[in-house]
Structure formats: structure tokens, C-alpha cells
Amino acid sequence: MTGFTLRRTAACVALAGTSTLALTGCTFRGAASFPLPGGVGGGGYQVKIEFNDVLDLVPQSSVKVNDVTVGSVKKIELSPGGYTAVVTVSLKNDVVLPENADAALRQTSLLGEKFVSIDKPAVPVGRLREGMYIPLARTQRNADIEEVLGALSLVLNGGSLEQLQVIDSELTKALKGRETQVRAFLQQLTGFIGGLDNQKTQISHALDGLDRLTSKLAAQRQTLDVALRDLPHGAAVLADERAQLTKVLSGLNNLGTVATRVINGTQQNTIADLRALQPILTQLSVAGKDLPNALELLTTYPFPRTVALPNNKGGIRGDYANLFITIDGNPTDLLNNLLNGIGLPLPLPGAQGKTTGPTVPKLPLPKLPVPKLPTLPGLGGLTGGLASDSGDLDRLLFGGLS
């Protein structure tokens, strides 16, 4: 009876194991496939996190927010590039995290297990949802205890720890007796750093301007290349013409000296000429429009200016005018009258002392006052003096060169 019971129990266990394998299929991966107590269970949403190194993180490890477990690690695999690790975590549906959340790899204690910690940023944006990705730029890991102990062992055994005494003693010898100078140097360095900090805006603008200048120079690289290539040839030409350029510059210097002497010598004559022109210009100003009107009248003499206005508004309608003059009289008498008008003796031979035509009156010619230009003193020593009996106009034009 007892044997039958043991065989029946073994059969039941085998049947249960077979049923379990049938239900789970062929995906059994050992104890790591069983959920740990306190895990997230099913029904959560999954997020992928990229780490540079996951150390000894294993599936079913905890995922915490503010040290509170909110999920678990489902899968750890290599990234498509094969240089980083991608951790797939499952979070509870009621866990609300921002889209720009940060992730870190930590451990519960000094020798405790690793877990994934998700931290909220200072300025949260959006919401983390199913299938989203936390990139490598927003992940980090703490130093492992093995790494800390290894670094400490390197310092204590064969490291630079024994050299600290040598460094301290050498610094003491170097600074001994120079405390004042070192203190002053540090104070000056502090002031210098403070000045740089106060002018960081100007320095930033200067660097930006330098960047723009560099960009423009880069855009003009071909032009600069041609200029630098042709510059030696231009410099060679200037070097070959050095004697002529020196002569030209010396001549310009002498010309400046002579021009200064001439200007200083003709200063009084120039002032006198301007003062002599003042009455003439004053009378021209007083004449006003009379002079241009008189000159305009010459173009239509003997007719008035209004004889041919545009749009047929003048005295003559058309583009031309005819002048017909009829003279009735003896030609000899007319000639005598004409000659009498201009002051010639009368009568002419053959006129018999008689005139039949009207007598032409004698018109006196107007006498315009001609202003006499003042005599300008000459500048001796330039070209030699002119004749003493030269006219005022000669002395006006050439007095500055005499």
C-alpha cells in the first residue's frame, strides 16, 4: 500500500512538471525567469534605458524612484552598435515619470545588489510612456566597491602616496622666506581672474566676432591666396623703384616748402585783390536782373523780347517775321542826312546845299566809368622784377611772380 502511494505521488509530480513545461513552452531560462517577491508583476509599461556599463546588474533587479520600488529589470542586451548596454525595465502603470527623466545604476548597500534608479529632472517635460527610450546622455553609474578598493590598493601599494612627504617638503623649501611674494602673487591672480570674470561678456563677444572674421577670411581664401602670391612681386617692383619714389617724395617736400613761401608772400596781395573786387561785385549785385535782361534783349534786337513768346502769345504769330522799310527821298539827301547824323561835314559835292529828307539827330555815346584796378606790390626774389611802366593789369596778373 505504501509503494503504491509513492508511485502515485511520483506520477503526480511528473504530470505536474509536464503540464508546467507544456504551459510555459521552451522559454524557461532558469531561476532568473521567476518574478521575485515584491516585483511589478504583469500589466506594466516597458521603457528602454541605455548604459555605458551595467556592471553586474541582472534581470529581475529592482527599479526604484526615490528609493521606492516601482518596477523591475526585464532584459539586458547589447545596443545595435555593440558598444553600450540596453536595459529594458517594466514600470507600474500608476508610476508617472517625465519624458526627460534621468537614470542611474546604484546599489542598495556597500556590498548589496545593483538596481536601476530613475530620477526626475529639475524641469520635467512630458511623460514617460510605453516604448520610450532614455539615451546614454541622461544615464550614469556610481563607482563600484571593487573599483574603489582597487584604486585604494593602487595608491597604498606602489602608488604616489609615499611621494606626498617629498612633495610637502619641497613645497615648504620653495615657499620658505617667500610668503609675502606668494601671497601678493595669489592676490594679483585673484584680481586677474575676477577681472576676466567681470569681462566674460565682452570676451564672449570678442570670440564671436573673431569667429565671424575667421568665417569671412575662410570664404575669401582664394582672394587672399592670390594677394599673398602677388604681394612679393609688388614688393619687388617697389624695391626697384625705390630711388624714383625717394626722388618724388623729396620733390613733394620741396614743393610744399615753396608753396608755403608763395602763400605767405602773396597773402597781402590776395587780400588786396579781394578787397578791389568788392566794389565790382557790389555793383553787380545792385544791378540785379538788369544785366541779364539787357543781354537777353540783344538776342531779339531790334525787336522786343516779347515779340516771339511760346504758344503764339507774342507779337508775332509763327516761327519767323518779315521787316519791310520804305524810304521816300533823294538818295543824295538821305546820304547827307546820314553823314550829318554821324558828324561828317555837309553838304557833299553835288548836293547843292539842299536837303529834302528829315535830319537825323546826333546821338551822344554813353560814357561808362571804367574802374581803375589798384596797383599790387610785387613779390621780389621769385622770377625777377617786371618793367616799372607795366600796366595795372600786368601787375595784377604777374605781380605775385615778380
**78 within domain boundaries:** yes
CA distances from 227 to 198, 214, 215, 223, 378 (A): 40, 17, 18, 6, 55
3-state helix, strand, coil in the chain (%, to 5): 50, 10, 40
Residue 205 confidence class, pLDDT cut points 50, 70, 90: very high
69-81 pLDDT tens trace: 999 999 999 988 8
Per-residue model confidence (pLDDT) at position 213: 92
Cα(92)–Cα(305) distance, integer angstroms:
110
State percent of the chain over pLDDT 70: 62
Averaged pLDDT of the chain? 74
- Domain-ending residue, one of 128, 145, 162: 145
- More confident position, 219 or 161: 219
> Rounded mean pLDDT of 153-160?
67
**383 within domain boundaries:** no
Of residues 307, 363, 306, 353, the one with CA closest to residue 332: 353
- More confident position, 353 or 199: 199
**265 within domain boundaries:** no
Per-residue model confidence (pLDDT) at position 303: 67
C-beta separation of 110 from 103 below 8 A: no
Residue 292 confidence class, pLDDT cut points 50, 70, 90: confident
Say yes or no to pLDDT of 309 above 90: no
Does residue 211 sit in helix, strand or coil?
helix
Say yes or no to pLDDT of 265 above 50: yes
Range with the lowest mean pLDDT among 52-56, 87-91, 311-315, 374-378?
A: 374-378
> Rounded mean pLDDT of 295-318?
65
C-beta separation of 380 from 402 below 8 A: yes
**53 within domain boundaries:** yes
Cα(1)–Cα(8) distance, integer angstroms:
11
C-alpha cell of residue 119: 530620477
Say yes or no to pLDDT of 206 above 90: yes
Per-residue model confidence (pLDDT) at position 382: 40
Cα(107)–Cα(2) distance, integer angstroms:
52
**Helix H segments across 241-350?**
242-265, 267-287, 290-298, 331-341
Residue 208 confidence class, pLDDT cut points 50, 70, 90: very high
Say yes or no to pLDDT of 325 above 60: yes
The residue type of 215 is S
**185 within domain boundaries:** no
User: What is the sign of the dihedral through the CA atoms of 133, 139, 142 and 144?
Assistant: positive
For 104-136, the DSSP string reads: EEEESSTT--EEEEEE--SS--S---TT-EE-G
245-259 pLDDT tens trace: 999 999 998 998 899
- Say how many CA atoms lie within 13 Å of 89 toward its Cβ: 34
Per-residue model confidence (pLDDT) at position 67: 87
Burial of 331 (0-12, 13-18, 19+ CB in 10 A): exposed
- More confident position, 133 or 393: 133
**56 within domain boundaries:** yes
Cα(357)–Cα(337) distance, integer angstroms:
7
Per-residue model confidence (pLDDT) at position 54: 87
Residue 306 confidence class, pLDDT cut points 50, 70, 90: low
Collect all residues with Cβ–Cβ distance below 8 Å to 114 and sequence separation of at least 6. 54, 55, 56, 57, 58, 61, 105, 106, 107
Residue 386 confidence class, pLDDT cut points 50, 70, 90: very low
- N- to C-terminal Cα distance for the chain? 162
Collect all residues with Cβ–Cβ distance below 8 Å to 337 and sequence separation of at least 6. 355, 357, 358, 359, 360
- Domain-ending residue, one of 127, 145, 163: 145
The residue type of 14 is A
Per-residue model confidence (pLDDT) at position 368: 45
- Domain-ending residue, one of 94, 113, 145: 145
Residue 82 confidence class, pLDDT cut points 50, 70, 90: confident
Q: How many domains does the chain have?
A: 2
Cα(114)–Cα(106) distance, integer angstroms:
6
**224 within domain boundaries:** no
Using alpha carbons only, how large is the chain's radius of gyration in Å? 59
Q: Which helix (DSSP H) or strand (DSSP E) does residue 25 occupy? A: none
Per-residue model confidence (pLDDT) at position 337: 67
Range of the domain at 281: 272-341
C-alpha cell of residue 133: 527610450
**186 within domain boundaries:** no
